[in-house]
Structure 1
């Protein structure tokens, strides 16, 4: 009996996956399906997309999964894992570092001058302003100094095999294979851990939909042609709803009677309504008549511990390009700096970035208490901040819209009554 239990326990341990060494790297617990079997299961989808067997086999030659990257669904990996994304591991103040933004602003103005003709042509073609394009270029590539370190096929295959969003990355993997079939060299398929390719880091499905010839040489090369890469980015933004001539948003000063529980897209309204509520544009410049008619929502990425913004349609579009409030705000402020603007008017206060588990557990408890959560993912988005603020208001505790252990303790006590 004891031997039987020992054997059963040993088998269970193997199934859960003790760390092993593969190719010199520590690998963690494996999924149940063999990787080669998974790859072969992708073939029907690739074939239906027009990929030849020759291209398919060459793409996967020597490819093994990389179990070290974030966002994997493995038995011994924490379910909440944002370790690979600075947007979710740094405070807003750290992510929006003023010295770094100033440095990129100076570089951006020089880049704008060097590529002025191409940027003007792309701006006329797509409606996306050159300042935003240069800001995205600066954020994604540090003006050409960043080179993606990963193999895109390996990254996408790993995420499709054992990632938390398998269906999404399976689609991206097939799109990457289609790119190879179209003639993109295998050596060009370098990426971030999430499989984004090219100078401005975009997913393969975006390439198939939006990549265009930006320099007029008859080819599309988002790896070496700056004009092609920028035109590709502009077409993506245009396709996601970019509004010609509109700003991304505005820093504002909130009135004393307002608070961060007003935050979020569901409370979007014309800027004129925000002005009637007492919000003022930071810096004292009044809104124009056209600006007053634009719809915007309140966005406070540090809760009560930093500046407030009215985010417009083009902010939403940048956020669709990279799903993060902080990313969109970084690009927006950098574009302003390239135009000649500067730092935020309201300074950041001292506040700590909470542990991901604290955010996750607070989301769980707030949902139990009837506060709607778009996602329970441990990430501090506008809805999470808003619901925290509404809870704090109802509980009659300090309203700062920021996740913390003290707010979690309060929510735990309320949920367990």
Structure 2
């Protein structure tokens, strides 16, 4: 999930990046002050004093986690979510996807009856369900390394997204109050829990009984975890029977600056612009009315896709283009297809500071950058491509050192 930063604050933050790598400001409160200040909010949500005290007894922040603001510690751009620190080439590893697809087919066979029933109830494609499970925990092989309460409390105390994680730690405390055992609350570094990785605030919104026993357990019940993941997708707008997207070929006069949800058109309109579906299967006339937007995760250096409404829904499960692509391709592979015709190129993944500076300078010039976060999403790629087109640069839609050099040469872009 992303943090929206005001334009003024974003400019100030990036100005510091431009001048020097400075230490982050000290926390406004001590750990004990943070915990004591959290109690009234937890109590208001129905958490008992005993549950609260048990949760925090002997607990100290884990300052080794990514995405923290720690006095005297320089932020490590290489740490954090793989979706934002790895290139598409690294993230969409064909060998790993192939291996997971084999395990996914076995997993589907083992749980076919329950999965088909979940698909019937929610409308969510069975292969997407199984792919999400595979991406999150490799079908249970990946063991979550962290205590969720410690992770969430640390992020709420001194993380870059304090307000967001304050809501998450309160929801996690409520989970304990509702009877979830502490030992079950194992998490990723960002605090997602359960077999299909729910953030605690999502836990109370999308629970679904998948095995019909009258209770929901996303930690130990495979059907419950799958049903709850499917219910979350359904609640967020999943369209029954719609593909997640299509790999496409751009025409010779097409370019990646058309990318992103603002440029969404029907497939019929994209076809009139010269886009074709890659491979031997052309678009069907019945697909002409489907709305989709152009998505190119490596800019002009890799494959392009038309992403449908269901791609957007997968992104709501984890707000990353690469995550949604991974899930979509893995689902296709489990179903017997999959594999991209144009592999992602070995293009360098720019450092967070470089991307942040490019975003800030583009915003200063009036380009549509409203989030300066150092992450390469479709809007950043679109605005980079638009700038390259206007500046007579080669259009790659990728925040390269050459783009930054060009921007720095323009005094009007100085934050």
Separation (CA, whole Å) in 2 of partners of 1:384 and 1:58: 44
1:109 aligns with 2:105: yes
Larger-Rg structure: 1
Bigger Cα displacement from structure 2, 336-345 vs 242-251: 336-345
Separation (CA, whole Å) in 1 of partners of 2:398 and 2:219: 40
What residue number does 2:46 align with?
50
Task: Decide whether the 8 Å contact of 2:264 with 2:291 is kept in 1.
Answer: yes
Which SS does the other structure have where 2:287 is aligned? helix
Which SS does the other structure have where 1:323 is aligned? coil
- Once superposed, what is the RMSD of the aligned Cα atoms? 1.6
Task: Decide whether the 8 Å contact of 2:364 with 2:412 is kept in 1.
Answer: no
Correspondence for 2:162 among 159, 163, 166: 166
- CA positional deviation for 1:351: 1.7
1:284 aligns with 2:283: no
CA 1:415–1:284: 2 relative to 1, 3 Å: farther
Structure 1: any 5+ residue segments left out of the alignment?
Answer: 1-18, 20-27
Which SS does the other structure have where 1:296 is aligned? strand
What residue number does 2:367 align with?
371
Which SS does the other structure have where 2:300 is aligned? helix
Q: How does 1:182-331 map to 2 (within 5 A)?
A: 182-331=178-327
- Alignment deviations for residues 355-414 of structure 1 (CA, whole Å, 9 cap, x no partner): 222111111111111111131111111011111100100010111111111110001112
1:150 aligns with 2:152: no
Task: Decide whether the 8 Å contact of 1:70 with 1:82 is kept in 2.
Answer: no
Bigger Cα displacement from structure 2, 319-328 vs 338-347: 338-347
Question: Matched residue pairs, number?
Answer: 391
Higher relative contact order at CA 8 Å, sep ≥6: structure 1 or structure 2? 2
- CA positional deviation for 1:187: 1.0
Task: Decide whether the 8 Å contact of 1:89 with 1:353 is kept in 2.
Answer: yes
Task: Decide whether the 8 Å contact of 1:80 with 1:357 is kept in 2.
Answer: no
- CA positional deviation for 1:416: 4.8
Task: Decide whether the 8 Å contact of 1:365 with 1:415 is kept in 2.
Answer: no
What residue number does 2:118 align with?
122
What residue number does 1:401 align with?
397
CA 1:350–1:169: 2 relative to 1, 3 Å: closer
What residue number does 2:72 align with?
76
What residue number does 1:348 align with?
344
Separation (CA, whole Å) in 1 of partners of 2:35 and 2:365: 43
Separation (CA, whole Å) in 2 of partners of 1:77 and 1:238: 42
Question: What TM-score, normalized by structure 1, do the two folds share?
Answer: 0.91
Question: What TM-score, normalized by structure 2, do the two folds share?
Answer: 0.91
Separation (CA, whole Å) in 1 of partners of 2:368 and 2:324: 24
CA 1:52–1:221: 2 relative to 1, 3 Å: same
CA 1:244–1:348: 2 relative to 1, 3 Å: same
What residue number does 1:95 align with?
91
Separation (CA, whole Å) in 2 of partners of 1:348 and 1:53: 52
Which SS does the other structure have where 2:282 is aligned? coil
Which SS does the other structure have where 2:305 is aligned? strand
CA 1:170–1:128: 2 relative to 1, 3 Å: same
Separation (CA, whole Å) in 2 of partners of 1:369 and 1:30: 33
Structure 2: any 5+ residue segments left out of the alignment?
Answer: 1-22
What residue number does 1:178 align with?
174
- CA positional deviation for 1:267: 0.5
What residue number does 1:339 align with?
335
